[in-house]
Structure 1
Amino acid sequence: MRKAKWVAAAAGVVLLVAGCGSEGGSGKRDGGSSAGSSAGSTAGGGSEAGGGDSPDAAAVEKEIEAAATAAGFVQDASGEDVPAELKDCMVSWTADAEKAADPKKSYDATVKTLSGGGWKEGQSTEQSGSTIKTLNKGTWSLKASSHGAAGFSIVMFIGTDKTAKCEALFRADLEKNKKP
Structure 2
Amino acid sequence: MRKAKWVAAAAGVVLLVAGCGGEGGSGKNKGGSSSSSTSGSTGGGSDAGGGDSPDAAAVEKEIEAAATAAGFVQDASGEDVPAELKDCMVSWTADTKKVADPKTAYDATVKTLSGGGWTEGQGTEQAGSTIKTLNKGTWSLKASNHGAAGFSIVMFIGTDNTAKCEALFKADLEKNKKP
SS in structure 2 opposite 1:160?
strand
CA–CA distance in structure 2, aligned partners of residues 39 and 152 of structure 1 = 39
Return the TM-score normalized by structure 2.
0.80
CA–CA distance in structure 2, aligned partners of residues 159 and 135 of structure 1 = 9
What is the identity, as a one-letter code, of the residue corresponding to 1:100?
Answer: V
Q: Tell me if the contact between 1:47 and 1:54 (Cα under 8 Å) persists in the aligned partners.
A: no
Q: Taking structure 1 as reference, are residues 12 and 177 closer, same or farther at Cα in structure 2, changes over 3 Å only? A: closer
Within the alignment, does 1:19 sit opposite 2:16 as a pair? yes
Structure 1 residues 27-46: Cα deviation after superposition (integer angstroms, max 9, x where no partner): xxxxxxx327568689x716
Q: Taking structure 1 as reference, are residues 17 and 137 closer, same or farther at Cα in structure 2, changes over 3 Å only? A: closer
Q: Tell me if the contact between 2:23 and 2:29 (Cα under 8 Å) persists in the aligned partners.
A: no
Q: How does 1:1-180 map to 2 (within 5 A)?
A: 16=13, 19=16, 21-23=18-20, 34-35=22-23, 45=46, 48=49, 53-180=52-179
CA–CA distance in structure 1, aligned partners of residues 121 and 20 of structure 2 = 11
* Superposed structure 1 runs of 4+ greater than 4 Å apart: 11-15, 36-42
Gaps of 5+ in 2: 31-44
How far off its partner does 1:82 sit?
Answer: 0.1
Number of paired residues?
Answer: 161
Structure 1 residues 51-105: Cα deviation after superposition (integer angstroms, max 9, x where no partner): 5600000000000000000000000000000000000000000000111111000
CA–CA distance in structure 1, aligned partners of residues 125 and 9 of structure 2 = 16
Q: Taking structure 1 as reference, are residues 133 and 58 closer, same or farther at Cα in structure 2, changes over 3 Å only? A: same
Return the TM-score normalized by structure 1.
0.79
What is the aligned-residue RMSD (CA, Å)? 2.8
SS in structure 2 opposite 1:35?
coil
What is the identity, as a one-letter code, of the residue corresponding to 2:104?
Answer: K
User: Identity percentage over the alignment?
Assistant: 78
